[in-house]
Amino acid sequence: MTTGFGILGAGMISSLHADALKNSPKARLVAVCDRVRERAEKLVREYAPEAKVYSDLDALLADPAVEVVSVVTPNALHTDAVVAAAAAGKHVLCEKPPAMSLADTDRMIDACRQAHRKLGVFVQCRLREPIRQMKRALDEGRFGRLLRVDAAMKWYRSADYYRSDAWRSDRRSGAGVTIQHAFHYIDLLSYLAGPAESVHARMANLGHPDIPIEDTVDAMIEFANGAIGSVAASTALWPGTDVRIEVFGDEGTAIMQGTAMAVWKFREERPEDESIRRCGDAAVATAAGSATALPSVDHQMVIDDCVDAIQCGREPAIPCHSVRPALEIALAMYRSARLGEPVRLPLVDENRVWED
């Protein structure tokens, strides 16, 4: 018996969700809701002709076949949808970033906790094999003293991408390379090296003079364990190259490029290292030049895990509370760039992040 999923938001990235559900042995797409009904109809036609179409969230939530809601609306609209879904007794998987503020994120977490519903987030890169291996090695202490973690996201998004919907260039709706695109990699650094103690960021618009948000961010993060982190992210760098995530300890170095392990070297080699060195696939597209140039398999892993979590009564692999620190770092980057100075965490008075 498969678990019924409803997708809320049938826009640009929804086909990835629908494809992941189509390929999943554990889940099936039973309904799609978009306030632009034709978008929901198109998605259903292409991926699940038997699924229901709705243009109103309440109608989606009233459908008993929907057991899990995937929230795939623009960033600033996630919170209300998640809270409503939990109140209707649905489990939720929410796209990243979970919300635009820590207060809204906490509201989502509380609503799902009180309703005894799961709440996972699609920061799907965490489930890529090279990241799993890095995390395991860090937990085992194989890197020795952690020295640096670096994320380099040298991507390209065209002016047409930014013009395709008003929210893509509106800061309060969730636009900006830091919170929108680099969020995945800020999350990876936080996941691998956190907790963070301070953030110092600079932001710029290098390649999109017509949009009023940053398309480039450079930031330094100081972690409580003494490691230094850096984020260099941009959507102005045509044609875009694969993301690199680099981990350096005094006992070893690991680098993921795209979805593949590029470097895996420890002073004390283990027999399994040779196969770990070959994990991932360098040929897989990772959205470097286009938002939709992504495989659905990473989303499918999040979906399959969520079904397992429901059936086994455990937490999902990426619970929302585990993504909150990445949001805090991203918000601190905005405040730091605005003030021109480092910002210490925890972030106090987070409403001031967006002040002009």
Ligand X SMILES: NC(=O)c1ccc[n+]([C@@H]2O[C@H](COP(=O)([O-])OP(=O)(O)OC[C@H]3O[C@@H](n4cnc5c(N)ncnc54)[C@H](O)[C@@H]3O)[C@@H](O)[C@H]2O)c1
Q: How far is the CB of 72 from ligand X (least distance, A)?
A: 5
Q: Which of 327, 330, 286 is nearest to 155 (CA)?
A: 286
Q: How far is the CB of 108 from ligand X (least distance, A)?
A: 13
Smaller CB separation from ligand X, 142 or 234 = 234
Name the residues that contact ligand X, by CB under 6 A: 8-14, 33-36, 39, 57, 72-75, 77, 95-96, 122, 124, 165, 180, 291
| Signed CA dihedral, 278, 283, 289, 292: sign only | negative
Q: How far is the CB of 163 from ligand X (least distance, A)?
A: 12
Kindly tell me the burial class for residue 204, based on how many C-beta atoms sit within 10 Å of its own C-beta (0-12, 13-18, 19 or more): middle
Q: Which of 153, 180, 186 is nearest to 258 (CA)?
A: 153
Q: How far is the CB of 42 from ligand X (least distance, A)?
A: 10
Smaller CB separation from ligand X, 138 or 217 = 217
Smaller CB separation from ligand X, 35 or 132 = 35
Q: How far is the CB of 135 from ligand X (least distance, A)?
A: 19
Q: Which residue is nearest to ligand X (CB)?
A: 11
Q: How far is the CB of 299 from ligand X (least distance, A)?
A: 7
Angstrom distance (rounded) from CA 10 to CA 18 = 9
Q: Cβ(29)–Cβ(7) under 8 Å?
A: yes
Angstrom distance (rounded) from CA 163 to CA 304 = 34
How are beta strands 196-204 and 252-257 bridged, if at all?
unpaired
Smaller CB separation from ligand X, 72 or 201 = 72
Smaller CB separation from ligand X, 74 or 229 = 74
Residue the block writes with tokens 């006992």: 251
Helices 78-87 and 102-114 meet at what angle, rounded to 10?
A: 10
Smaller CB separation from ligand X, 82 or 201 = 82
